[in-house]
Amino acid sequence: MKIRTFLNYGGNCAEAFSFYEKHLGGKIVAMMKHDEAPTSGATQDGAVKGILYARLVIGDNYIMASDVPSNRFERMRSAYLSLSVDSDAEAERIYGLLSEGGEIYMPMQETFFASRFGQLRDRFGTSWMVIHEKPMPGSEQ
């Protein structure tokens, strides 16, 4: 069994995934617009514009997403995508890119569990944790 993340956007899914592909080293492997759906009625009488299904591969993981009607869209609140990186410099770089135009919840800083850790919501409405973990006593890393 695997748990996969599926994100909803309010009309900017393609823009968000293009940004993540460019700046997080990912690759968009699928992107279909609502009006390209093979079944009729999939767009709810044209109520939904934008992306019906997208998949972005980042490392050994992937996230999926779509655009939903504006009356159903809410920015992410209590869930975060946690991005674990290999260096302080990479944590700072990614945090800087994702926080531009977004909302910072926790500035990038050192914690007892990470040499760099920060939390934010990006300009697309996705909440992120960016972390460069410290080796923990008794753990295998």
Q: Which residues of 118-139 are buried (b: 16+ CB within 10 A; e: fewer)?
A: bbbbbbbbbbbbbbbbbeeeee
Residue 24, token pair as written in the block: 């997080």
d(CA 84, CA 44): 38
Residue 58, token pair as written in the block: 């980042």
pLDDT tens-place string over residues 77-128: 788 999 999 999 999 999 999 999 999 999 999 999 999 999 999 999 999 9
95: closest CA among 79, 113, 76, 115? 115
Lowest mean pLDDT among 1-15, 18-32, 54-68, 127-141: 127-141
* Domains in the chain, CATH or no CATH each: 1-71 (3.30.720.100), 75-141 (3.30.720.110)
d(CA 30, CA 25): 16
Determine the pLDDT at residue 47: 56
To the nearest whole number, what is the mean pLDDT of the chain?
A: 89
